Structure formats: structure tokens, C-alpha cells
Amino acid sequence: MDDCLPHGSSDTSTLRMLLTQERSRREELEQEVARLRAALARQNEVILGLERRDAGRQREVQR
């Protein structure tokens, strides 16, 4: 059996438990990635708005 698995992990219940834990952790990570992507998208929108505002002010100054 795999040396990375706990002793006695060859039984079905232990493997099922490990798989369940891995799936749960994967779901948590996927949710965290989605949260971070959403935060990044919000920040990008703020940056774009600031760039538009700056461009408008630059046009006013050049008049």
C-alpha cells in the first residue's frame, strides 16, 4: 500500500474518509479561488474607473 497513507488505510472506510476529506478540501480551495477572483475583478473595476477619471481630468487640464 502507499507509504503516504496512514497505517491500516487499506480498508475501504479509511480510504473513503480520506477521499471525502480531499474532496472537501478541494471544494474549499475552489471557493477561495472564486472569492479571490471576484475581489480581483472588483479591484480592476475600481482601477478602470480611476483611469477614466484621470483621463477626463487630463483632457480638462489640456484645454
The pTM is what?
0.66
Q: What is the pLDDT of residues 10-52, one digit of tens each?
A: 789 999 999 999 999 999 999 999 999 999 999 999 999 999 9
CA 62 – CA 24 distance, rounded (Å):
57
Domain positions in the chain are: 10-63
Strand, coil or helix: what is 5? coil
Any idea which residue has 473595476 for its cell?
45
10 versus 2: the higher-pLDDT residue is 10
